[in-house]
């Protein structure tokens, strides 16, 4: 049943693994401009952490801890952050979605051309856009699976 | 200030409804009335900005916007030799289609305030409606092929979710399922064609691609896939099976917006045939294919509409047949593009087809909104069970009469002007085209006389609602579209020379398109 | 010849997917058919970007002596494929929610019996 969850062994291991998977997903989101990954990929990993909890503990338990509403608010905030970053692009600099953080303090270093050891402080607005997309994807995919699991309550076969 | 707004208008027109779509769920938690007011403010601001941009484009010339560049008109970056950034381009045709999309959306949103009043989940309804507006404007303003695919998918997904909005009726979800399966298959064919073109020329920007395109075998395959996919999205026969099901079960205001959405796909079809391929095409063959699609759609649409009993299903078959008129008009223009006769009657045919696009959006939207008003009062869509509604719903009856006369092509309403342009120019290519078109007009009039008689005439019946008119916001929404119909009917010359002619010129002139988008590799 | 194997795989996937959409009756199988066609088109997009002997187009810890950009594969098709995968996920979520709703109303998943909207 999508409702009751699985045995205590599975629950304990899922609870232990959950923070590590979340940290890995945040790592993939934040390093999107340096290594393979980025917003959608990291967001999918984060959503699969939540899905692992839904399978291990049951949809009703997850709903009582972080309800469908707060997940949907997370999704809207992610989308809002993306469009606001784009609009700031043309208020502060030239055009929509232009990179206005190049040379500034936050994410603003300009690395040398060619191979480099992966400096996190580069990229301009790209890490911000990655974070926005990552939040939206975590919220969106987790809420899709949560609502489907809640909705199929009682359909045993 | 005005100049600054107009320079950034193409991106603002897509960003503003998108911002509204992301804010609506948050505002909906606070209060429902705040959410309705917010949606109307966003759509009204989009409408004003669109009208200002359209005025500027029709008088001054095309607008180019490069996202992320230092200067909005610099399409080719300093380090590259080809345009590599995302470019938005608003020329006459794009501005024309943008006006249609935003006006129909505003009328549908005003109408929905009262129509969807009793439903739950209205926050999601308005979010998806704003996402549909983003999808339509994105398809009409884009300058490169992959953006066309992405906004096509945004539009399809938002429309499918809205078609299934009344999920407590089983047939609504069935219609939406058919729609999304066929739609996503079509969009995957578009992606395959884009991949074929990218693999050969390493370019995605439509202007740059148009300047290097040679008509190889793979390009013909890509053209076939693109024409099939976009003709399927507008509801042309023989890929029209999803149209009656999807249009019937959607809420009435969403059906009016689906009409505008299928015209965005029609715009994409014309943009590909005229501006992307242009003179490298085998114009005679492709022109004949589009004319044949148009004839089939006109004839089959109207003959399948005659025996229908469900009022919205009948109107959706008429939508198929009117799409045939647009395909016929612009197909004749494509057929004559390299001919010497293009400047005399080829461009007249294109103007007729393009004028018909805006006329169709107006009167078809109005007819669907009146059908929704009938459903709101009476609770059924079956013509056998209605009667005598003219006694109680006077305004709705008048709106319906105006819509029915417009679709049949009776002067002095707007349907007559565009149909006359199509009849005259199609006659010079072959008399059979005009004869079929006129026959279809007569059959259209016949089926709407049938609907008028069943629904509105006759004695006042029991159980036909509570004898009053529909709420005021629905009347305002319908009145907005009626005002457009009457104005366009009374002043067709002004409309054709100021709105339609620049659009037809922009479509036919491939060299200006390539130069504007910074091609010329 | 060995370099053309991905293109044969693309044709095979699209053919299998189209066959499933057109000829299978179960709604879930139709949804699977769409996913198979989408997988085929994504494979086609990625294969277009391959260059013989190329490395991944990432500057972090790039081995020295690699010519930029000749020794790297093309990065643009990878971005296009990512976008297409995201869209595919959204469509799959939507189709599956529709299938759940249809099952609640019609009690069957056979598309021959789901026909309330006739001529």
CB contact under 8 A, A152 and C64: no
HSE, CB side, 13 Å, CA atoms: give it for residue B96. 31
Same domain, B341 and B273: no
The set of residues, in sequence order, having a beta carbon less than 8 Å from that of C67 and lying 6+ positions away, is none
Q: Which residue of A has its CA nearest to B25?
A: A76
ipTM computed for the complex: 0.95
Same domain, B46 and B168: yes
| B39 lies in the same domain as B170 | yes
Give me the number of domains chain B comprises. 2
**One domain for residues B208 and B304:** no
Tell me, what's the pLDDT at B519?
59
B245 touches chain C (CB under 8 A): yes
B514 in a domain, yes or no? no
Asked if the Cβ–Cβ distance from C100 to A118 is below 8 Å, we say no
Residues in CB range of B399: below 8 A, 6 or more apart: B366, B369, B370, B478, B479, B482
- Spell out the domain ranges in chain C: 2-50+73-118
Which domain, by its residues, includes B31?
1-281
> Within a 10 A sphere around the Cβ of B117, how many other Cβ atoms?
14
Note whether B299 and B208 are same-domain residues.
no
Q: Band of the pLDDT at A24, cuts 50, 70, 90?
A: very high
Q: How far is CA B477 from CA A3, B60, B109, B372, B391, in A?
A: 46, 32, 8, 12, 22
- Nearest C-alpha of chain B: how many angstroms from A114? 16
Do B105 and B187 belong to one domain?
Answer: yes
The token duo for C79 is 């971005």
**Residues with Cβ within 8 Å of residue B480, at least 6 apart in sequence:** B103, B106, B107, B110
Note whether residue B521 is domain-resident.
no
B29 and B113 both lie in a single domain: yes
- Nearest by CB to C102, which of B153, B177, B184? B177
**pLDDT confidence of residue C85:** 95
Q: Are residues B304 and B207 in the same domain?
A: no
Residue B218 maps to a domain:
yes
Distance CA B278, CA B513 (A): 11
Query: Residue C36: which pLDDT band, with cuts at 50, 70 and 90?
Result: very high
Cβ atoms within 10 Å, residue C57:
18
Cα separations in angstroms, A44 against A21, A128, C21: 11, 17, 27
**CA B383/CA A96 separation, integer angstroms:** 51
Nearest CA in chain A to B88: A96
What pLDDT was estimated at residue A2?
55
Helix axes B252-271, B217-234, angle to 10 degrees: 160
Q: Assess A121–C contact: CB distance below 8 Å, yes or no.
A: no
Mark yes or no for CB contact A118/C60 under 8 Å. Answer: yes
Rounded to an integer, what is the distance from CA B299 to the centroid of its chain?
Answer: 20
Please tell me whether the peptide bond between A153 and the residue prior to it is cis, using omega within 30 degrees of 0. no
Query: Over the range A15-33, which residues count as b (16 or more CB within 10 Å of their CB) and which as e?
Result: eeeeeebeeebbebbbbbb
| Calpha distance C34→B60 (Å, rounded) | 45
Residue C94 to residue B157, Cβ atoms within 8 A? yes
In a domain, B519, yes or no: no
Q: Say whether C101 and B245 touch across the interface (CB within 8 A).
A: no
pTM of the model: 0.94
Flag the least confident range among A133-142, B1-10, C22-31. B1-10
Interface test with C, best of B184, B246, B307, B381 (most C CBs within 10 A): B184
Residues B130 and B276 in one domain: yes
| B368 shares its domain with B455 | yes
Count of Cβ atoms closer than 10 Å to residue A144 Cβ: 20
CATH classification number, C2-50+73-118, choose in 3.40.50.10490, 3.40.50.300, 3.40.190.10, 1.10.287.3510: 1.10.287.3510
Same domain assignment for residues B238 and B264: yes
Residues of chain B with pLDDT under 50: 521
Q: What are the C-alpha distances in Å from B353 to residues A50, B282, B356?
A: 53, 21, 5
pLDDT higher than threshold 80 for residue A155: no
| CB within 8 Å of B337: residues ≥ 6 apart | B274, B279, B283, B287, B346, B508
Out of A101-105, B250-254, B312-316, C10-14, least confident range: A101-105
Minimum CA–CA partner of A120 in chain C: C60
Cβ distance C48 to B188 less than 8 Å, yes or no, reads no
Domain end residue (candidates: B281, B304, B322)? B281
Q: Is the pLDDT of residue A157 over 50?
A: no
Are B274 and B306 contained in the same domain?
no
* For residues C9-23, average pLDDT: 95
Percentage, residues of chain A above pLDDT 70: 95
- The answer to whether B478 and B369 have CB atoms below 8 angstroms apart is yes
């Amino acid at each position: 049943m999508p409702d009751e969850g699985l045995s205590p062994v599975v629950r304990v291991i899922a609870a232990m693994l959950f923070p590590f998977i979340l940290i890995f997903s945040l790592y993939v989101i934040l390093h999107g401009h340096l290594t393979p990954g980025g917003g959608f990929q990291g967001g999918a990993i984060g959503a699969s952490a939540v899905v692992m909890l839904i399978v291990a503990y049951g949809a009703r338990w997850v709903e009582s801890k972080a309800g469908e509403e707060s997940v949907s608010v997370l999704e809207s905030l992610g989308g809002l952050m993306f469009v606001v970053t784009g609009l700031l692009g043309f208020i502060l600099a030239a055009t929509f979605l232009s990179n206005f953080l190049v040379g500034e303090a936050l994410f603003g270093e300009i690395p040398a051309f060619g191979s480099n050891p992966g400096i996190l402080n580069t990229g301009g607005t790209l890490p911000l856009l990655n974070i926005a997309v990552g939040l939206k994807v975590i919220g969106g995919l987790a809420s899709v699976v949560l609502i489907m699991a809640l909705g199929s309550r009682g359909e045993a076969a | 200030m005005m100049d600054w707004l107009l320079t950034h208008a193409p991106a603002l027109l897509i960003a503003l409804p998108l911002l509204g779509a992301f804010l609506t769920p948050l505002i909906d938690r606070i209060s429902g009335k705040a959410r309705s007011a917010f949606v109307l403010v966003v759509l009204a601001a989009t409408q004003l900005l669109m009208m200002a941009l359209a005025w500027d484009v029709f008088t001054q010339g095309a607008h180019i916007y490069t996202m992320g560049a230092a200067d909005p008109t610099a399409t080719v970056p300093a380090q590259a030799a080809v345009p590599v950034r995302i470019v938005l381009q608003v020329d006459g045709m794009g501005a024309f289609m943008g006006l249609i999309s935003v006006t129909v959306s505003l009328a549908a949103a005003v109408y929905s305030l009262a129509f969807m009043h009793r439903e739950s989940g209205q926050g999601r309804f308005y979010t998806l409606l704003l996402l549909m507006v983003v999808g339509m404007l994105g398809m009409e303003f884009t300058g490169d092929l992959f953006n066309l695919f992405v906004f096509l998918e945004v539009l399809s997904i938002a429309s499918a979710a809205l078609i299934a909005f009344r999920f407590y009726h089983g047939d609504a979800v069935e219609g939406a399922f058919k729609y999304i399966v066929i739609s996503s298959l079509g969009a995957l064919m578009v992606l395959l064609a884009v991949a074929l073109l990218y693999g050969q020329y390493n370019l995605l920007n439509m202007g740059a691609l148009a300047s290097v395109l040679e008509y190889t075998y793979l390009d013909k395959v890509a053209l076939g896939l693109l024409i099939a996919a976009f003709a399927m999205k507008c509801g042309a026969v023989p890929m029209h099976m999803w149209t009656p099901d999807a249009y019937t079960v959607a809420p009435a205001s969403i059906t009016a917006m689906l009409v505008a959405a299928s015209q965005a796909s029609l715009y994409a079809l014309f943009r590909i045939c005229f501006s992307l391929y242009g003179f490298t095409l085998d114009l005679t063959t492709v022109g004949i294919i589009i004319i044949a699609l148009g004839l089939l759609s006109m004839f089959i649409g109207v003959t399948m509409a005659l025996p229908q009993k469900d009022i919205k299903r009948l109107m959706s078959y008429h939508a198929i047949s009117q799409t045939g008129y647009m395909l016929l008009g612009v197909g004749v223009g494509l057929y004559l593009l390299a001919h010497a006769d293009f400047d005399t009657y080829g461009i007249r045919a294109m103007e007729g087809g393009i004028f018909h696009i805006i006329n169709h959006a107006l009167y078809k939207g109005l007819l669907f909104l009146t059908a929704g008003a009938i459903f709101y009062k009476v609770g059924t869509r079956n013509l056998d069970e209605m009667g005598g509604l003219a006694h109680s719903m006077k305004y709705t009856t008048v709106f319906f009469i105006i819509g029915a006369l417009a679709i049949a092509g009776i002067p002095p309403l707007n349907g007559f002007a565009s149909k006359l342009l199509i009849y005259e120019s199609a006659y010079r290519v072959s008399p059979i085209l005009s004869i079929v078109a006129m026959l279809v007009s007569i059959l259209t009039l016949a089926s709407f006389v049938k609907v008028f008689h069943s629904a509105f005439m006759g004695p006042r019946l029991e159980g036909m609602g509570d004898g009053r008119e529909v709420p005021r916001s629905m009347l305002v929404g319908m009145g907005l579209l009626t005002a457009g119909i009457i104005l366009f009917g009374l002043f067709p010359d002004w409309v054709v020379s100021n709105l339609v002619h620049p659009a037809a010129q922009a479509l036919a002139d491939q060299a200006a398109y390539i130069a504007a988008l910074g091609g010329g590799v | 010849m060995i370099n053309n194997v991905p293109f044969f795989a693309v044709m095979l996937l699209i053919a299998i997917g189209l066959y499933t959409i057109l000829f299978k009756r179960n709604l879930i199988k139709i949804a699977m058919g769409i996913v198979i066609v989408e997988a085929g088109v994504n494979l086609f997009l990625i294969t277009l970007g391959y260059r013989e002997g190329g490395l991944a187009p990432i500057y972090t810890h790039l081995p020295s002596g690699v010519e930029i950009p000749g020794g790297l594969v093309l990065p643009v098709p990878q971005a296009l494929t990512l976008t297409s995968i995201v869209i595919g996920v959204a469509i799959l979520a939507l189709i599956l929610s529709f299938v759940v709703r249809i099952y609640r109303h019609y009690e069957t998943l056979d598309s021959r019996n789901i026909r309330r909207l006739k001529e």
